[in-house]
Amino acid sequence: MDEHCAVDTTHRGNLTATKMQNKSTETRNEGIRCAQKVTKISVITLLSVGIVELLIGQISGSVVATADGIDSLSDAMISFIVFMGLVIAGRPPDKKFHFGYYKVESFAALMAAIGMIVMGSIILYHSSSSLLLQHKHEIQQPGLTMIVLAAASIISIYRAMQMRNIANKYSLVSLRTDAKNSIKDGSASVVGFVSIMIATQFGFSQMDAIGGVIIAGYIFSVAYVSLKQSSLILVDSWQNPQVTDLIRQIIENKFKGNDQIKVQQILLRPAGMMVVFAAVHIELDGSKRLDDVELLTREVELVIRSKILYIKKISVIPHSLNSLSIVSE
């Protein structure tokens, strides 16, 4: 059933359904605009921080500062991937993509997670090599290096809070991935700060390489969570059975006492970006006229949409109780 048919037989019902659809679309578009703005700023900020950290790493000879610089540059690449995903995901449905481009946002999150794993592996290799080979080196300009890492940590955490608020408000998986990545980036800078302090103040030079290994561990942990979330959406896995039960309850409460309508099956499919597609199979009296069946399916669609706004498209599929009983016999 087309979503524009989600109306009841009254003009008031038509206006109500239209307002709900428009409100949901406006909220989604607003979320995309906010996310695009914050990710664009994120790319520029991370590029600047990463370049400064790499320069400081080369000047000071610090493994952990260099690792944090590489991490920041990889985060800039990830933010750019997320930004492009959000731009494409905001496109309306067309002849090739009938259900829209929503899954591109989840695909961008998946690519970002894979990129994090690659960069984490590079950092782990260099840091562990330095640690295992017992490379002892004196860190030059430790004070300046610690100041840069502290500033990078503050910038990353502040940016992460902005992105996390927008991601949670509009249920954007890719932006949530970027926010977690930024929290990881800020934590990594703190680890770098502490590692250099221990290496220079207590003479434990291996702590510099150990800090790089810890940063790699942070990257892998964030990448795992993001990889899992985005993959589940891309394979249409529904992880919230409470919503399925809620839809069934909404229909049963609406048609309580009507034995001619029964909920057979409810199928939900996440599309990403706070968008869900639903297929509701109901059982009806097979002797009903087609017009009556159509009105009932529209009524079911409208009552669901009035309670759960983020369901983009609701398909109500009627089945005849009479034919079902014949088949069972």
Quick: pLDDT tens for 95-137.
888 888 888 878 888 888 888 888 889 888 888 887 777 556 6
Helix (H, G, I), strand (E, B) or coil at 197: helix
Quick check: 69 pLDDT over 80?
yes
Stronger pLDDT, 277 or 88, i.e. the higher one = 277
Strands (E), 36-134: none
Residue 299 in tokens: 């009524």
Stronger pLDDT, 70 or 150, i.e. the higher one = 150
**CATH code for residues 28-234:** 1.20.1510.10
Contact 268, 233 (CB under 8 A): no
Quick check: 70 pLDDT over 90?
no
Residue with tokens 């639903």: 278
Quick check: 160 pLDDT over 90?
no
Residue with tokens 């009932």: 296
Q: Which amino acid is at 129?
A: S
Beta-carbon contacts of residue 120 (< 8 Å; ≥ 6 apart): 216, 219, 220, 223
Report whether CATH 3.30.70.141 matches the domain 241-328: no
Q: What is the pLDDT of residues 232-283, one digit of tens each?
A: 989 989 888 898 999 999 998 888 776 668 888 999 998 876 678 999 999 8
Q: Which amino acid is at 225?
A: V
Delimit the CATH 3.30.70.1350 region(s) of the chain: 241-328
Delimit the CATH 1.20.1510.10 region(s) of the chain: 28-234
Quick check: 214 pLDDT over 50?
yes
DSSP-derived secondary structure for 202-227 = S--TTHHHHHHHHHHHHHHHHHHHHH
Average pLDDT over residues 50-77: 86
Q: What is the pLDDT of residue 2?
A: 38
Query: Would you place residue 12 in the very low, low, confident or very high pLDDT band (cuts 50, 70, 90)?
Result: very low
Instruction: Please give the radius of gyration of the chain, using alpha carbons only, rounded to the nearest integer.
Output: 26
Average pLDDT over residues 176-205: 83
Q: What is the pLDDT of residue 72?
A: 85
Q: What is the pLDDT of residue 259?
A: 63
Q: Closest by alpha carbon to 153, among 120, 179, 187, 197?
A: 187
User: Which is it for strands 262-272 and 311-320: parallel, antiparallel or unpaired?
Assistant: unpaired
How crowded is the C-beta side of 193, counted as CA atoms within 13 Å?
15
Query: Measuring CA to CA, how many Å separate 283 from each of 157, 277, 322?
Result: 53, 20, 9
Query: Would you place residue 9 in the very low, low, confident or very high pLDDT band (cuts 50, 70, 90)?
Result: very low
Return d(Cα 198, Cα 194) in angstroms, integer: 6
pTM of the complete model: 0.69
126, 131, 132, 137: CA torsion to nearest 10: 100
138 DSSP assignment: P
Mean pLDDT rounded to a whole number for the chain? 80
